[in-house]
Structure 1
Amino acid sequence: MAKGARQAAWEFFGAELKRRRENAGFTQVELGTRVFVSGGYIGQFEQAIRKPQLDVAQRIDDVLQTEGFFERTWRKLIDDTRYADYFAEVVELERTATKICEFAPTLVPGLLQTAAYARAVTVANNPFATDEYVEETVAARLERARILADATRPEYWVVLHENVLRIPVGGAAAMADQLDHIVGMVRQRKALVQVLPYAQGAHTAMIGMLKLMEFEDAPPTGYTETSFSGTLLDDPAVVKRAQRAYDLLRAAALSPTASLPLIEAAAEDFRRCASTT
């Protein structure tokens, strides 16, 4: 679905929510209380500024007695079989974010991955996958990254743990190309990248993958992920704690200017290794 068509469809979702809410005699606050979100969130859903999570859409159906209308519409609009169920909504949010900040403890974030790197990660996670599945997954990841090529691209801040520079995903040649790609994104001013070095100590390993997103007309959102699931953080207090954790990581990391030579040196090490094998 094209971006304009997708937005129009979400506007229809919001208009239907407003119509059915008013027909049921609820204010935004009253409906929000019953589905465990704020009245302001209901207003943002109705204006298509923010998309509800699936469980919220299901609770709206229950409260408004709409026989699964909002769940079915949500699944049609946001469910993308190319992504894990828990990640599909994050992809949708990335497309409307004005700023994205990420901390990557072990792997290059998807928005910065090359095709070879993404392929190696996909195969490692799915060793029995078909070639078709692998290539669809890689294509979807590269498609996500196109938001960084748009004229209206979000500000993109990344903190990479030094692990990311040292783990040879896909082999030495693939890693050299991957790190070169990151350097290129920095030099093109499409990403601001810092490296959190090993020297910062054990406390840095206690924070997992973290993504923070800001929007023009909606509150910020966070996302964390483990190997098997992901969690979207919508609660303002939790998002604030996540933002503080990210600020501490950024303060502990090398500056962008000092990080770039470290990434370039790691790429050169992999290049030398590839040339001797």
Structure 2
Amino acid sequence: MEETTPSERLNPLQRFGLDVRRVRLGRRLTQKQLGTATGYSHAYVSMVEAGKVMASMKFAKGCDLAFGTNGLFEGMLTRIDEGDHPSWFVPYLNLEREASKILSYATNLVTGMVQTEEYARAVFRAANPHATPEGVEDKVAARLRRREALERDKPPFLWVILHEACLRTIVGDYEVMAGQLEYLLSLTESPDFRLQVMPFSASIPATSTMPFIVLRFPDSPTVLYTETRVGGRMHDSAQTVEAALDDYDLLRAHALSPDHSLNLIKSLLKEYRA
């Protein structure tokens, strides 16, 4: 029976960090020098090399510039990211990063792009009961990387409509739910984010719509993304996209106003904290 080497037992984040460290030492750079070159702190470089955080794409590109590795680390990070998403989701993920406006409607779980680490971990543990702890953590890290788009200098305008079921379904425990609601409230402080809640009391036509996401681009056609248990699908026909936009307008009309939505979330937060 063949024995595995220490590097083969590392998870993807740890292997990425180890490769960064090897090349950095080969180029005779300190962690501080690499941090300066990539625009990050010494502590951040240390955590990446230790595999404790998922490196940002900006950091990976900075490493390629500092090391002269011609896109090596950018490619490695992309493969890690895509490897922790289902293959059918990768095309959507690539488009999401380029979108200038994102319209999302979720019916049972908080939309992935704005999930907290603890919430995402609870989701993946429930959905992957046989996965190793390392495998779950890799998926969590990949999901959190989707939030990088919201931290750009020019982030996409994100409009999220959550059915009330998303806020009342206990994912993890009350502490996890409280943290998730607090994060949603913090996002509403951004001028590039809108949040509405579809209450249980809304009429059936507005609440029977399946979850979907619309991606809009400055110079490309609008795209609709829908998902079922067997995978996701991209739609770009003008008629289908137009129908989805009409549905979204209907959802916005039936949902609570942004202010009333915040009041409901704050009320639920008090319940979870209690």
Report if TM-score (shorter chain) is over 0.5.
yes
Superposed CA offset, 1:71-100 (max 9, x none): xxxxx9899211111110111111110000
Q: 1:187: which partner in 2?
A: 189
- Identify the match of residue 234 of structure 1 among 218, 233, 236: 236
Matching residue's letter, 2:177: M
- Report how many aligned residue pairs link the two structures: 203
Question: Matched residues in 2 for 1:176 and 1:227: separation?
Answer: 28
Secondary structure of 2:162's aligned partner? strand
CA distance change for structure 1 residues 79 and 174 in 2, over 3 Å: closer, same or farther? closer
Root-mean-square deviation over aligned CA pairs: 2.2
Counting only pairs closer than 5 Å after superposition, residues 131-150 of structure 1 correspond to structure 2 as 131-150=133-152
Counting only pairs closer than 5 Å after superposition, residues 34-73 of structure 1 correspond to structure 2 as none
TM-score, structure 1 normalization: 0.69
- Conserved? CA contact 1:110–1:145, under 8 Å: no
TM-score, structure 2 normalization: 0.70
Question: Matched residues in 2 for 1:143 and 1:215: separation?
Answer: 20
Q: 1:92: which partner in 2?
A: 94
Matching residue's letter, 1:100: I
CA distance change for structure 1 residues 134 and 77 in 2, over 3 Å: closer, same or farther? closer
Question: Matched residues in 2 for 1:216 and 1:187: separation?
Answer: 24
Question: Matched residues in 2 for 1:98 and 1:222: separation?
Answer: 14
Question: Matched residues in 2 for 1:219 and 1:176: separation?
Answer: 38
User: What stretches of structure 1 move > 4 A for 4+ residues in a row?
Assistant: 76-79
Unaligned runs of 5+ residues in structure 1 are 7-75, 273-277
Superposed CA offset, 1:172-207 (max 9, x none): 000001001000000233420001101113333421
Question: Matched residues in 2 for 1:125 and 1:164: separation?
Answer: 16
2:176 is equivalent to residue 174 of structure 1: yes
- Conserved? CA contact 1:159–1:195, under 8 Å: yes
2:252 is equivalent to residue 250 of structure 1: yes
Matching residue's letter, 1:238: T
Secondary structure of 2:234's aligned partner? strand
CA distance change for structure 1 residues 78 and 230 in 2, over 3 Å: closer, same or farther? farther
TM-superposed CA distance for 1:152, in Å, is 1.0
CA distance change for structure 1 residues 79 and 186 in 2, over 3 Å: closer, same or farther? closer
- Conserved? CA contact 2:206–2:250, under 8 Å: no
TM-superposed CA distance for 1:229, in Å, is 1.0
